[in-house]
Amino acid sequence: MNFVAELAAKKCLVIGAGVTGRSVEKALKKFGATTVLFDEKLSNTSDVTNQIPDGIQLAVVSPGWRLDHPVISKLKCSGIEVISEVDLAWKIKQVLAPDQRWIALTGTNGKTTTIKMVESIFKAAKINGAACGNVGETVIDAVIADKPYEYLAIELSSFQIEWSNLAKYEAVAVLNIAQDHIDWHGSFEAYALAKLKLLKQSSKVILNKSDPELSRRVMADSVIWFSLDTPNAGELGVVENLLVDRAFSLSPAQANEISELVDITPTVPHNILNALAAAALALAIGVNYELIKSGLKNFLPDHHRMELVINKNEINWIDDSKATNPHAAIASLLANFNVVWIAGGLAKGASMNELAQRCSSRIKSVILIGADRELIAEAFKEKSPAIEIYRVDQISDAKKLMEDVVFQAINIAKPGDTVLLAPACASMDQFNSYAERGQLFAQAVKALV
């Protein structure tokens, strides 16, 4: 009997009642399983381990749960199989769509932009594929779709990779590794190792040569590297105004044009790297250069990712609310000059020292909000003490906070400056999401500037 048929006889515990958990519950019920949805946020007792129902045969866990959570430990000690949503999707895919091919992408920053570039290439090439995972629909929803996809391009967070052991990929790409989610993984080393675990699950590995952590940690000859430099044989890179491939060409001596730099929006260094990674993933499954160029040219970035809200009085107001860690904020800051920088929120255990050191020449003033704002203030006090720091307190709701922030920026910014919301922190201390943070910033700018 195959795995899908066996589900009809199983009592399954779905751990986590968020988006992923609801998708898992729907899939299990579709195949006849009995499901129990479990989430400690819905519990009225502190000892949630006593609420595990009897008779559970399979537990499927949402990625935000730590591997050492007492509930997970108790299930494993009881001999109950505990798997992730991605691995459940893989097991079901093996039965329903054995020819479906998976490619995957991870990195501290740029994941969503890059995987959506891949999706845009799919559309240009008329490939029956979908971007899913940490973006758009869940992997399990994509796998059980009424019309099976031929390809899935999966964006994976460090949590999802940590939890996944079964899935196999045609190709994986890693964009970068920098401090993020230290609070969940326990250390930067553990976080980095979680990202790199993905390399063992793929036949083709595509890595950013210009990322110091990747170039230091990975030495394999079989790696396909990409960078902003002129590519060596077996690499992708940039030659003058062209993105160029020397990894998938017919011979090592041959270089093929992928696209022009002007095809990439916005044309900033980190986004060129995103485009090279997306192109490499597409080339790994046989998409031709002309269709990749078309897909990249048609792609438009997400809201809240280096999005120009307005240019008024020679001042750019830019929303990069999606820059939720220092590494993302550094990329955003280094793409601009004379920056009035709006930052702060939940730092998730990350250090701000590198940012303060590398970006001081671009920053004119810093406006700080949020729970961990003093972490940023201390980093600048030590690394760049000459930069003016302003603090804006939350007096009432999030809308009023952002209006106060924009009003402060209006008083500081002069012609030639850029006011940049790139917080280097998560948003949940003062906003519902990074999207709400960006929306309120854009609304305040349009109303007040």
Q: Residue 265, annotated ligand binder?
A: no
**CATH T-level fold of 3-87:** Rossmann fold (3.40.50)
Q: Residue 112, annotated ligand binder?
A: yes
The answer to whether 39 and 64 are in contact (CB under 8 A) is no
SS3 101: strand
The answer to whether 93 and 144 are in contact (CB under 8 A) is no
Homologous superfamily of 307-448? Mur ligase, C-terminal domain (3.90.190.20)
CATH architecture of 97-298: 3-Layer(aba) Sandwich (3.40)
Give pairs for 201-205: CB < 8 Å, separation 24+.
Answer: 201/104, 201/164, 201/167, 201/168, 201/169, 201/172, 202/104, 202/168, 202/169, 202/170, 202/171, 202/172, 203/168, 203/169, 203/170, 203/171, 204/170, 204/171, 204/172, 204/284, 205/171, 205/172, 205/174
* Fold: same for 3-87 and 307-448: no
Q: Residue 107, annotated ligand binder?
A: yes
Q: Residue 108, annotated ligand binder?
A: yes
Number of Cβ within a 10 Å radius of residue 230: 13
Q: What does the pLDDT profile of the chain (449 residues) look like in tens digits?
A: 799 999 999 999 999 988 999 999 999 999 999 999 988 776 654 566 777 888 999 999 999 898 889 999 999 999 999 999 999 999 999 999 999 999 999 999 889 899 999 999 999 999 999 999 988 899 999 999 999 999 999 999 999 999 999 999 999 999 999 888 888 898 999 999 999 999 999 989 999 999 999 999 998 889 999 999 999 999 999 999 999 999 998 887 899 999 999 999 889 899 999 999 999 999 999 999 999 999 999 998 878 888 999 999 999 999 999 999 999 999 999 989 999 999 999 999 999 999 999 999 999 999 999 999 999 999 999 999 999 999 999 999 999 999 999 999 999 999 999 999 999 999 999 999 999 999 999 999 999 99
Helix axes 85-96, 19-30, angle to 10 degrees: 30
HSE of 300 in the Cβ direction (CA atoms, 13 Å)? Answer: 4
This prediction's pTM: 0.82
In the chain, domain spans: 3-87, 97-298, 307-448
Q: Residue 110, annotated ligand binder?
A: yes
